[in-house]
Amino acid sequence: MSQSDILEGLAAILEEVAGVDPADVTADKTFIDDLDVDSLSMVEVVVAAEEKFDVKIPDEDVKSLKTVGDAVSYIQRAGVAA
């Protein structure tokens, strides 16, 4: 799956879960500070992403996903590994 497909999918999840405008979802944005996603909603984003992209994102790895770009790269790698 391409980076832009993953970005688009994440934007849809962020809109559904946290009401984030898809236009604001760019690789450099941090989930918590820039997009105002709280820690509980972040868990929802991760679980929805696991389902949507058919990958596993263990809880201990979630802490390293600060920006949207971090998440896109992680999901791409995890998808290839799977």
Partner 1 sequence: MTATPRQVVVTGLGATTPLGGDVASTWEGLLAGRSGVRRLTDEWVEQLPVHIAAPVAVEPPLERLEARTLDRVQQLALVAAREAWADAGTPEVDPERLAAVVGSGIGGVLTLLNQYDILRERGPRRVSPHVVPMLMPNGPAATVGLAFTARAGVHAPVSACASGAEAIGYALDMIRAGRADVAITGGSEAAIHPLPLAGFAQMQALSRRNDAPQAASRPFDKGRDGFILGEGAGALVLESAEHAAARGARVYATLAGSGTSADAYHVTAPEPSGAGAARAVRAALRSGGLTAADLVHINAHGTSTPIGDVAEAHALRAALGDALDRVAVTSTKSMTGHLLGAAGAVEAVIAVLTLRDKVVPATRNLDALDDEIDLDVVSIDNRSIPGGAVLSNSFGFGGHDVCLAFTP
Interface residues with partner 1 (CB under 8 A) are 18-19, 40-41, 43-44, 47, 50
User: Do the beta carbons of residue 63 and residue 39 sit within 8 Å?
Assistant: no
Nearer to partner 1, 34 or 50 (CB): 50
Residue 57: name the closest of 44, 41, 30, 75 by CA: 75
CB of 3 to partner 1, least distance (A): 25
From the list 38, 54, 61, 70, the catalytic residue is 38
For the CB of residue 21, give the shortest distance to partner 1 in the complex, in Å.
Answer: 12
CB-wise, 27 or 32, nearer to partner 1? 32
Cα separation, 71 vs 74, whole angstroms: 5
CA dist 16 and 59 (Å) reads 21
Which residues are catalytically annotated? 38
